[in-house]
Structure 1
Amino acid sequence: MNDKTLSLWKTTKYNQHLKATEEDEIAKEAPITITINGEQYATIVCTPSDIYEMTFGYLASEGLIRSVDQVENLSIDEVKGFAYVDLSIPVSIPERTERWIGSCCGKSREFYLKQDVKTAKTIMSNTKISSEQIYQLMKEFDSRSEVFDRTGGVHQAALASGDKIIASYIDIGRHNALDKLYGYILRNRLTLKNKCILFSGRISSEVVLKVSKIGAGLLVAKSAPTDLALKLADDLQITAVGFARDTSLNVYTHENRVYGNTEQNIHFLGRR
């Protein structure tokens, strides 16, 4: 058991008239407070793993940094739940410095919208992927969902090329999982050309905005979209694929990036 993501909880279970007491595996949740240049900036409720990646991704998605080079130092105190960030650039801390960003996605919506104008990007990409490649990627994606299988309590986000998953992260908050993925991309200086993002949950407006900030033109999710999410995806030129399971999927926006001829699978993601 990964002690950063899972804990044990004594649970009483009923099966019809039979009663039993067992230890259940439960997804961990913890607050991480980010301080910037010595001042508290935000407290994020998250799965307390991969905090480096999440912090980098959070800073970038909020428009506080443009590259990892602007972070002079980042240290994590896992016991106290703090991420200490020193930036090489000045940051204006609002008068009310204490923020609480919940793991239930949507509580922080107003905060994100204030940053969207300068951080959301319209995606200009000719990257393509076949339906068969999506089926195979989602099969691999599911095989990496051990924590969800054991707890049912986390979201998962992954970066993939046409034939493999490059990195995958989990968190109780869907925006946190995407921030961890964004942090990985920044720290490894990866290009989003020829890449797509896989996601375990529904496609909400927040998810689409996160993906646009990361810079990916293809978002593939297991669940349903909302109408606002699709309007945003259409406007930001992101291909939104939902209900991607087994051998079926729905392409909602910019369908030109997905093709169905399985005989062309040799032309992997990103061929132009």
Structure 2
Amino acid sequence: MADIGPSSRTRAGLEWRPHRPVTEIARATPREVAIGLSFDGRPHTVLMATPDNLEELAVGFTVTEAIATYADLLAVTVEAAAEGVLVDVRLAPSSRTRRLRPRTLEGRSSCGLCGVQRLADAVRPLPAVVSRQSFRPAAIERAVAELGGRQPLGRLTRATHAAGFAFADGSLGPVLEDVGRHNALDKLAGALLRAGTDPAGGFVVVTSRCSFEMVEKTARIGCPMLVAISAPTDLAIQRADSAGLTLVALARDDGHTVFSHPERLGLVATDLAEAI
């Protein structure tokens, strides 16, 4: 593994507060590094990411972007460079690599589709989620409650996202962090695949808002439910519904909202007329 340095650095600042003197402070900040991702030596994109768990990031990106299956991956190499980090994914010569979605600029940490050139490449067909795993609402509460204590970089910097995998009972497995929400989810996907954990038996929980790319990445690894702390977009709900994915958002201590396929949670909507 290349020596690419720590995930955070301490920076000095001047803190201003009303009715208080200006104070010098030191604050931990997450590193945001250019990660050059290539396939078989051919450059594909540059991701702005926190420089840890880069093998997992590369594996997850390859699968969730529908570039190749996990079985097609032979090796991932990581090399430190003056400008950032170079990560190369080597694919089996016999693999039927899917057409790479062309990009013309770097993928920023806040963006999942930076540089995509064509509308047809932005919103692509999704595989159907076939897992019949069911869950109880209490499992979501448990996963959300545990997630806060599993984010050391987030607690240190207050500037990162996390993506975790919860088993059917809501107990948390791996949790990965990054400055980018898409990167955190790709790292989680890669960690699950490398560990041989079947995503179909649990659900993904993320600290970010739920955009359609987060739905797509969850569906492509065959996970039946995505839980987001924040709100979803309209397209995220559409994509989740069409893919057969249960989408839960606004997951807080006092409850959550199910936007698609509530049957996995055993929920039935109360008739509005009767409620009134």
Q: Which bin holds the TM-score, normalised by the shorter protein?
A: 0.7 to 0.9
Q: 1:101: how far off? A: 1.0
Q: Does 1:28 align with 2:35?
A: no
Q: Which residue pairs with 2:208 in the alignment? A: 201
Q: Which residue pairs with 1:73 in the alignment? A: 75
Structure 1 residues 144-155: aligned runs within 5 Å: 144-155=150-161
Candidates 4, 7, 13, aligned match of 1:5: 7
Q: Which residue pairs with 1:136 in the alignment? A: 142
Candidates 54, 60, 82, aligned match of 2:63: 60
CA-to-aligned-CA distance 1:11-36 (integer Å, 9 cap, x gap):
11012132101111111100111122
* RMSD between superposed Cα atoms in Å: 2.5
Would you say how many aligned residue pairs link Structure 1 and Structure 2?
256
CA-to-aligned-CA distance 1:43-89 (integer Å, 9 cap, x gap):
1111111000000111112222212x422332111354111222223
Distance in 2, matches of 1:198 and 1:109, equals: 27
Q: Which has the higher contact order (CA 8 A, sep 6+)?
A: 1
Aligned partner of residue 184 in structure 1, secondary structure: helix
Q: Which amino acid aligns with 1:102?
A: R
Q: Does 1:51 align with 2:54?
A: yes
Candidates 10, 19, 22, aligned match of 1:19: 22
More divergent stretch after superposition (211-220 vs 144-153): 144-153
Q: Which amino acid aligns with 1:233?
A: A
Q: Does 1:100 align with 2:106?
A: yes
- CA 1:15–1:113 in structure 2 vs 1: closer, same or farther (change >3 Å)? farther
Structure 1 residues 215-234: aligned runs within 5 Å: 215-234=222-241
Aligned partner of residue 101 in structure 1, secondary structure: coil
Q: 1:123: how far off? A: 1.0
- CA 1:93–1:246 in structure 2 vs 1: closer, same or farther (change >3 Å)? closer
Candidates 78, 86, 95, aligned match of 2:90: 86
Q: Which residue pairs with 1:169 in the alignment? A: 176
Distance in 2, matches of 1:74 and 1:109, equals: 24
Q: Which amino acid aligns with 2:73?
A: V
Aligned partner of residue 104 in structure 1, secondary structure: coil
Q: Which residue pairs with 2:272 in the alignment? A: none
Distance in 1, matches of 2:129 and 2:167, equals: 17
More divergent stretch after superposition (100-109 vs 12-21): 100-109
Percent identity reads 25
Q: Any gaps of 5 or more consecutive residues in structure 1?
A: 261-272
Q: Does 1:240 align with 2:247?
A: yes
Distance in 1, matches of 2:25 and 2:216, equals: 41
TM-score by length of 2: 0.84
Distance in 2, matches of 1:71 and 1:32, equals: 19
Aligned partner of residue 129 in structure 1, secondary structure: coil
CA-to-aligned-CA distance 1:170-199 (integer Å, 9 cap, x gap):
111111111111111221222223210011
8 Å CA contact retained: 2:77, 2:87: yes
Q: Which amino acid aligns with 1:40?
A: P
- CA 1:204–1:115 in structure 2 vs 1: closer, same or farther (change >3 Å)? closer
Q: Which amino acid aligns with 2:109?
A: S
8 Å CA contact retained: 1:43, 1:98: no
More divergent stretch after superposition (214-223 vs 85-94): 85-94
